[in-house]
Structure 1
C-alpha cells in the first residue's frame, strides 16, 4: 500500500509516520515545503521525500506525477503562521488544497483523508456533545475556523462531482504530544508567558469561563485513527477527541495553578493587544474559536473505525507541557527543538506510552 502524506513533517505528520512505519506492507511518500535533513533520523528516514509547495501553481504537474500509483493521500499540510499575513496562509490552506485535489483527480488516487478540525464547526453547545451532522460552517472571527470551513465546503463539491473518491474527514480536536512542545511554544505562546513558567511545566493562573471548555487528543491516538481509516473502507466525517473535556479547573489541577474567572471579551482584548504588539503569535480569533466551537461526540469513530484513545486528555496536556518546559522537538524543521533542548538531548525522550 502506497500512502502519500502532505505536511508529513509536522505535529500530526510525525506521529502518523511513527505509526505507519511499523506497518511492513506500507510504502510512505512525504510531501513538504521543507523536507527533513538527511540526518533527521526516525521516523523520517523511512520515507521517500518530495519538496513541494502546494500553493505554487507551477508545482501541480509535478505533484500529479508524485501521486501516480499512490493508493491513498493524507492531507495534513496547513499553515497557521505568520498569522499577520492572511493572504499567505490562504495560499497554502485553500489554494494548496485545490491544487492537491486536482492532482489527485489527474493521478487517479481513490482515497483521501483530510485533516479537518472540530474548529470547522459552527458555534454550538458547551453542555452537550454534537455529532458530525453539526454544520461545518465555522466560527466567525477566527481565520483558522473560516479557512477550515471553506475547505469543508470545497470537499462537499468534490464528493458530489467525484463519488468514486473515498473521502475521509478527520474532524480532530487540538493535537498534543511532547515532541510538539517547542513548535507550540513558537506558534501559540511566543513571548506572552515568562520562560520560567514554561520551564517549570506549570501555569500559575488559568482563565475560567463556562464557554472556555475544549477537547484535545494525543497525537499517537490520532495517528491510530488515521491508520484504522486507511486500512478500512469507511468514509465521511469522524470526530476525534479524548476525554475528559478540559476547562479552567481541570487545567489548573493538572498544571499546578489557580483557575481565575475571566470574561471572554476581556481575554480577547488582552489577546488582541498582545498580538498587535507581536508578543503573541496567534490571532485573537483563537479565543473566539475556543469559546464558540461545540463539544463533539466521537462515537462514530469508535463504532465504525474501532478507535479507542490510549491517552486521556489530561495525559495529553501533561505530555505537551513537559515538552514545552524543555523545548522538545524532533529532527524535522517544523518540529525543531529549542537550542537548549537540542544541546542537552532532551528532545529525544519518548512520549508516555
Structure 2
C-alpha cells in the first residue's frame, strides 16, 4: 500500500517515516510538507512540497488549492495528517488557517483523490476540561479549553472531521488523541517552541536541576514518538476508524518529574494561580514563547483511558512516560535534532 504523510518532517512525522519505511505491508511512502527535508529517514520516501496554510483569495482559489493537493494524493491508499503549527504562538490567524482550515483542505483533497482512509492527529487537548483524575474514554466531550488557542483549534479540528465523516461515510477516518509526545531527536525543536532562551538548555540535563518547581496537582500523560508512530502504523494497517487515546501506562506527577529532572531532589509545589501569573508576565515581556493557555490546557486535560487502542489496534507502549521524558530532556540538553527544518538541531 502507498501511504502519504502530511507533515512528515516534524516530531511525530519523523518517527512515523522510520516506521513506515520498514513496514513490509507499505510499498511506498509520500511525505508532504512546506519545506522538503533531506537526509534519513526522509530521503528514502517520495516528497512533495505543499503549504496547507496558503491563503485563498476566493472560493475558486480555495478549490484550486484542494485540487492541487489532490493531484499529489492520487494513487494513495491512506493519508496520515500530522501537520500542525505551534509557533508563532502570537500569530493567531496563521495558526487557525494552518491547523483548522488546513485540516479541512487535507481531508477534502483526500476525498477528491479517491483516498479511502484518513488518520488525523488530534490530541488530549481537544477534550473538555475536567476537575478530577478519573480516566476518560474516547466518548468524553471534545469541547476544548476556552483559554487555550491550541485546545480551541483541536476542538475545531474535531468538528471539521465530524462534518467530513457525515458527508463521506465511505471513507474511514481515525482520530489519534495522544498526550505529550517525546523523543530525544525533538530536543532542540521543543526547546525552541516551548522554553526559549530564558531556560538554558544545559540546565535540563536529566538529574541536574537542584530543585523542581511544579504547579500543585498538575499531572501529565506522555508517549514516546516511536510508540506513537506504531499507533499510527497500526491504525493504517488495520484500516481503523474512530478515536484512540494514546499514552504510556504511567502518569507523571510532580514527584515523578522531580525524579527525572532533579534526580529525586526537592519538589516545590506552587499554587497553580501563581504559576499562571508568572507565566503571563513572562509571556507579556516576550521572555517565553508560550502563553498561559498552555498551562490551562494541561491543568484541565483529563487522564485518558487507553484501553481502546490496546483492544482494537493491538497497540502496546514500549517506553514509559518517565523514560520518554528523560530521553527528551537529554535531547534538549544536547540540542539534538534531525535534518528537517522543524527538527533542526540547536
TM-score (structure 2 length as normaliser): 0.94
Equivalent residue for 1:317, pick from 304, 325, 329:
325
Q: 1:195 Cα shift?
A: 3.9
Greater alpha carbon shift after TM alignment, 121-130 vs 296-305 = 121-130
List per-residue Cα deviations over 1:75-104 (Å, max 9, x = no partner). 000001000111111110011111112211
Which residue of 1 is the match for residue 59 of structure 2? none
**Comparing 277-286 and 192-201, the one that deviates more:** 192-201
Q: Is the 8 A contact 2:205 2:261 kept in 1?
A: no
Q: Give me the whole-angstrom Cα distance separating, in 2, the residues matched to 1:139 and 1:285.
A: 8
Count of aligned residue pairs for this structure pair: 335
Task: Quote the Cα distance in structure 1 between the aligned partners of 2:192 and 2:328.
Answer: 13
Q: In structure 1, how many angstroms separate the alpha carbons of the residues matched to 2:293 and 2:209?
A: 22
Q: Contact conserved, 1:55 with 1:99, CA < 8 A, in 2?
A: no
Q: 1:302 aligns with which of 306, 310, 325?
A: 310
Give, in whole Å, the separation in 2 of the partners of 1:246 and 1:239. 16
Quote the offset at 1:233 in angstroms. 2.9
Contact kept, 8 Å, 1:54 with 1:100, in 2: the verdict is yes
2:76 aligned to 67, 70, 75, which one? Answer: 70
SS of 1:202 mapped into structure 2: coil
User: Structure 1 residue 11: deviation in Å?
Assistant: 0.1
- C-alpha RMSD of the superposition: 1.4
Moved more, 128-137 or 100-109: 100-109
Aligned to 2:50: 52
Residue 54 of structure 1, CA deviation: 0.6
3-state SS in 2 of match to 1:170: strand
1:252-309 residue CA offsets vs partner (Å, 9 max, x unmatched): 0122243212111111111111112221111210100110001000000001100000
Determine the C-alpha separation between the residues in 2 that align with 1:198 and 1:278.
21
Find the aligned partners of 2:322 and 2:70 in 1 and give their Cα distance: 41
Relative to 1, partners in 2 of residues 1:200 and 1:234: Cα closer, same or farther, differing over 3 Å? closer
The Cα of 1:201 is off from its aligned counterpart by 6.1
1:333 aligns with 2:341: yes
Distance in 1 (CA, whole Å) between partners of 2:266 and 2:169 is 51
Mapped contact 2:202–2:334 kept (Cα < 8 A): no
Q: How does 1:125-274 map to 2 (within 5 A)?
A: 125-199=131-205, 202-256=208-262, 257-274=265-282
Deviations 1:123-169 (A, max 9, x none): 12442200001001101210000000000011111111211110000
> SS state of the match for residue 132, structure 1?
coil
Given that residues 249 and 259 in structure 1 are in contact (C-alpha distance below 8 angstroms), is that contact kept between their aligned partners in structure 2? yes
Check conservation: 1:130, 1:294, Cα contact below 8 A: yes
- Residue in 1 aligned with 2:28? 27
TM-score by length of structure 1 reads: 0.92
Task: Report which stretch shifted further, 7-16 or 44-53.
Answer: 44-53
Distance 2:49 2:297 in 1: 32
Q: In structure 1, what is the equivalent of residue 4 of structure 2?
A: 4
Greater Cα shift, 123-132 or 151-160:
123-132
Instruction: Deviation per CA, 1:159-212: give whole Å up to 9, x if none.
Output: 112111100000011100000000000000102323441356633333334531
Cα distance in structure 2, aligned partners of 1:184 and 1:194: 13
Q: Which residue of 1 aligns with 2:129?
A: 123
Q: Which residue of 1 aligns with 2:58?
A: none
